[in-house]
Structure 1
Amino acid sequence: MSHPLAKIRRMFELVEVLGTITFSEVPDEAFRAVGMRNYWDGYFAGRAAPLGLAPAEVVHAVFYNFAEGEVARHIPWVWGKITPEEAIAVRERGSAAAIRQRIGELADAPGLVRIADLATRAALSAPTEGRALYAGLRTLDVPEEPVARVWHAATLLREHRGDGHNALLVAHGIGGTEAHVLTALALGTKPAEFGRIHHLPKDRLAAVVDGLRGRGLVDAADGFTDAGREFRERLETRTDELAAPAYDVLTAAELDELITGLTPVADAL
């Protein structure tokens, strides 16, 4: 079943909201309660846990977009405080609790079971080849409780798309920091003010921007050129194409039902 790319892009928007609840206050507090020193300890423990006791170099490679040395400040330190299995459980509980807290009565809506089932079917159907983080998540047990199951499915679909996106970035010679610069420009933000890279040494960040400028993607005022804007949109479109096979298992009517069912949940989040 081949679905319109507009619907694949819409699913990305929905699962992004659901998946990134993991990085909000409630899961952060849950990780701190089991000994994590700060937000990033919990982030790396929870997100890297499906990879097992992988060294910092492997996590850095899989996550792709962190500056050199950032992962190593947390991995393997966190594994002296919590096991990957425990981190997976803390992450699931905290994420599901955060969703319930924000969506209210929707958490107990009868239709949520059906939406969880559709999302899970899609999330478990995608190919794993070349997608390390998605493959790691596929080894985990699927939660029974509907809210947790919707979150789990969204996380699978989000990381499946992300693995494909990283492969495209590699193929096009766009490093992790460069990807953040392109995202900043797409949001209308100066790279030096963008949250994920503003802390980098000024000369290092300037060198990255200069490199993109030399490729004709960034103009003299540190904004997109027309070619840069088109290049980024091509990457996003191709990412959608690579994410599409996850939804082939669903009929057109089922995908529409899934989008309709997830929309009020995402809106509430």
Structure 2
Amino acid sequence: MPHAHAKVRRMVELVEPIATVTFSEVPNEAFLALGMRDYWDGYFAGRAAPLGMAPAEVVHAVFYNFADGEVARHIPWVWGKTTPQEVIAVREQSSAAALRQMTGELADSPGLVRVADLAARASVSAPTEGRALYAGLRALDMPEEPVARLWHAATLLREHRGDGHNAALLAHGIGGTEAHVLLALSLGMRAEQFGRTHHLPRARLAAVVDGLRGRGLVDAAGGFTDAGRETRERIEALTDELAAPAYDVLTGDELDELVAGLEPIATALQAID
């Protein structure tokens, strides 16, 4: 059944910290043990592994928001050190270990199995059309162990939304680096201050900002225009709309139960950050 926008938005907030434990220290150490040179090798190997041995050009297209050349510094180099199958296994095991470590007693709470099962039902119920990364994840086995099951389900829901977000950006003519600039502005930062873009050559970043300025989305001082703010709001609203079908399989009571079960877990993870 369709659910209220506010509930879908709340699920986004709850799923994000659970899925992103995969980018924390325990999985990073596991990837380094596989022969990765640094955090970013593990990042690209871990996220791209469900796509198999896809070339850098395909990973760049699917990930959408990395600057030209960033993916190619890691793909296919990482596949000379390990395989997608090995990475998938290590990512699941280390992410579950991180989630268990970071949530403490909550990982063994009686309600976790139910929460993981509800999240898993939602995570495999959405359409895959046009969602390459989500489809790749859907092709993997759902873990049986509850903590791993919850992490995998959260990852599916996150990447399902992410694929939809890329579609919303594309529909509004916003490229990957442009999306980061708009995100930075929404956080009250200039593009050159933002972690995902500050490393880019100044001339390249300035050209992106100038392009947004030419479209009337950024003002002379480098901040949002009204049109820029409205464009980003439309993109976020469309992203939520495209994410909503994942939860249609749950009744209203089940979604409320899932939200209530995830809240203490997300709170514990956010407290660590």
Shorter-normalised TM-score: what interval? over 0.9
- Corresponding letter in the other structure for 1:39: Y
- Alignment root-mean-square deviation, CA: 0.7
Partner residue of 2:68?
68
TM value normalised by structure 2: 0.97
- Corresponding letter in the other structure for 2:117: D
Unaligned runs of 5+ in 2: none
Partner residue of 2:235?
235
Deviations 1:138-189 (A, max 9, x none): 0001111111100000000000000011011111110000000011011111
- Corresponding letter in the other structure for 1:223: G
Find the aligned partners of 1:230 and 1:265 in 2 and give their Cα distance: 33
Find the aligned partners of 1:96 and 1:219 in 2 and give their Cα distance: 44
Partner residue of 2:50?
50
What is the aligned-residue identity percentage? Answer: 80
Q: CA deviation at 1:262?
A: 0.4
Partner residue of 1:34?
34
SS at match of 1:128: coil
Partner residue of 1:224?
224
Q: CA deviation at 1:245?
A: 0.4
Find the aligned partners of 1:226 and 1:165 in 2 and give their Cα distance: 21
Superposition map of 1:191-210 within 5 A: 191-210=191-210
Partner residue of 2:81?
81
Find the aligned partners of 1:206 and 1:23 in 2 and give their Cα distance: 29
Find the aligned partners of 2:231 and 2:66 in 1 and give their Cα distance: 22
Q: CA deviation at 1:19?
A: 1.1
Find the aligned partners of 1:124 and 1:188 in 2 and give their Cα distance: 36
- Corresponding letter in the other structure for 2:155: T
SS at match of 1:35: coil
Q: CA deviation at 1:35?
A: 0.6
Q: CA deviation at 1:264?
A: 0.5
Find the aligned partners of 2:25 and 2:19 in 1 and give their Cα distance: 14
TM value normalised by structure 1: 0.99
Find the aligned partners of 1:7 and 1:218 in 2 and give their Cα distance: 31
Find the aligned partners of 1:233 and 1:109 in 2 and give their Cα distance: 38
Find the aligned partners of 2:187 and 2:22 in 1 and give their Cα distance: 22
- Corresponding letter in the other structure for 1:253: D
Find the aligned partners of 2:257 and 2:234 in 1 and give their Cα distance: 28
Mapped pair 1:101 → 2:108: no
Partner residue of 2:149?
149
Deviation larger for 185-194 or 220-229: 220-229
Deviation larger for 213-222 or 155-164: 213-222
Partner residue of 1:179?
179
Find the aligned partners of 1:233 and 1:173 in 2 and give their Cα distance: 14
Find the aligned partners of 1:253 and 1:225 in 2 and give their Cα distance: 41
- Corresponding letter in the other structure for 2:201: P
SS at match of 1:2: coil
Q: CA deviation at 1:104?
A: 0.5
